């Protein structure tokens, strides 16, 4: 999208204080934060509604969780809020807000006054914090067990219909892996 501000940030046409980047996602500081260190996580691909691309959206949620952990470790807030709300920017994004004793990031709040210097220092702190990701695979395995569709390879020819369902979950697990 030509006029999309997030697409311009992704293409590095507009400078941003980037705190995290991977194959699918980019996260940067909000320059008008409702709490200090508030970040925005976006897919590198332009789309508006999270349901427009399930696969990518779930990876963006992963990235948002990583960013939330990085914020927790580096800025030591009381907690972190995540929100997905449609705004005037038609590019799917997740907002990650640190919550401090004196800064509860509510929508009625005015943006916090933040200087360029302060933004740079916040971005640096969040960026430098390494977070190990170990969520996704375990989750998928849990789901397979819940559904009772864990299969043994030798049973494959016995029940075609059941296997179709099994294949779906195994394919999912593979894709996610």
Chain positions contacting Zn ion, by CB under 5 A: 1, 4, 6-7, 46, 91
To Zn ion, the closest distance from the beta carbon of 58 in angstroms equals: 19
Q: Read off the DSSP letter of residue 138.
A: H
To Zn ion, the closest distance from the beta carbon of 138 in angstroms equals: 32
To Zn ion, the closest distance from the beta carbon of 156 in angstroms equals: 44
Task: Specify the residue, 61 or 81, whose C-beta has the smaller distance to Zn ion.
Answer: 61
Task: Specify the residue, 46 or 125, whose C-beta has the smaller distance to Zn ion.
Answer: 46
Distance CA(96)–CA(28), nearest Å, equals 10
Task: Specify the residue, 23 or 146, whose C-beta has the smaller distance to Zn ion.
Answer: 23
Task: Specify the residue, 43 or 105, whose C-beta has the smaller distance to Zn ion.
Answer: 43
Q: Which residue is nearest to Zn ion (CB)?
A: 4
Name the burial class of residue 80, with classes exposed (0-12), middle (13-18) and buried (19+) by CB atoms within 10 angstroms of its CB: buried
Per-residue buried b or exposed e for 96-118, using 16+ beta carbons within 10 Å of the residue's own CB? bbbebeebebeeeeeebebeeee
To Zn ion, the closest distance from the beta carbon of 4 in angstroms equals: 3
| Count of positions (residues) in the chain | 177
Q: What is the CA radius of gyration of the chain?
A: 20
């Amino acid at each position: 999208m030509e006029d999309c501000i997030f697409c311009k940030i992704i293409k590095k046409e507009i400078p941003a204080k980037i705190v995290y980047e991977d194959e699918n996602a980019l996260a940067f500081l909000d320059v008008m934060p409702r709490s200090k260190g508030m970040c925005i996580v976006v897919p590198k691909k332009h789309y508006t509604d999270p349901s427009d691309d399930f696969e990518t959206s779930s990876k963006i949620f992963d990235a948002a969780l990583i960013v939330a952990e990085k914020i927790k470790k580096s800025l030591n807030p009381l907690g972190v809020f995540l929100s997905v709300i449609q705004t005037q920017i038609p590019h799917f994004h997740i907002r990650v807000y640190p919550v401090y004793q004196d800064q509860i990031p509510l929508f009625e709040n005015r943006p916090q006054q933040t200087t360029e210097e302060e933004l740079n220092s916040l971005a640096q702190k969040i960026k430098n914090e390494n977070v190990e990701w170990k969520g996704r695979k375990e989750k998928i395995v849990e789901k397979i067990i819940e559904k009772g569709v864990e299969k043994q390879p030798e049973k494959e020819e016995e029940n075609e219909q059941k296997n179709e369902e099994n294949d779906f979950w195994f394919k999912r697990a593979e894709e996610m892996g």
